[in-house]
Amino acid sequence: MTLILASTSKTRSALLAAAGVVHETADPGFDEVPLRTELQRKGESPAAIARALARAKALALSSLRPGQLIIGADQILTWNGELFAKPYSLADAERQLRTLRGCRHVLISAAVLVRDGQILAEPCAEAQLTMRNFSDAFLTAYLRAEGDALLGCVGCYHLEGLGAQLFSAIDGDYFTVLGLPLIALLASLRELGMLQI
């Protein structure tokens, strides 16, 4: 059986590969904006939204790949009751980072395992991150150094790189910050016989 990550995220794929999980990647071809908007309108919790989006991506790809085990994944950033999406521009990223500066926010990462339209597991984890009160000069230099790479991540940072300098404290699992509840996901894969016990 082939394991397929329903994501084009290089970081998620690299996390799985580094953990020894042989997999393929595929774009699920799913527009998450309408579903996210609807779930927010209904007042769903951030964790429920992350799971629903991960589930929708996995199910979309599962319909095209019968018999295969699909991993769907999503990450939600929440602060002060507000959900953040990936920025559309560097100006948007700057606004978001100014909002989060000096504050604590939560990242929720969800993964869903699906085969033939059946949900087999839905691990989810969260991390709390506190941004330091960085200077405007640092923010300008950071945006210049990172550039358009920031547009691919909900928090406008890559913790495994220069983004680590944005923080004064992180409580929670490193992998969760990078976009996968990896430890729980590995446990689920072992339970399904996809990894050695």
Active site residues: 74
Q: Which amino acid is at 117?
A: G
Q: How is residue 155 written in tokens?
A: 């928090």
CA distance 39 to 123: 19
C-beta of residue 195 within 8 angstroms of C-beta of residue 186: yes
Burial-class residue 91 by CB neighbours within 10 Å (0-12, 13-18, 19+).
exposed
Distances (CA, A) of 42 to 31, 50, 57, 105, 172: 19, 14, 20, 22, 28
Q: What is the Cα–Cα distance from 175 to 64, expressed in whole angstroms?
A: 28
Nearest C-alpha neighbor of 53 from the set 39, 68, 70, 69: 39
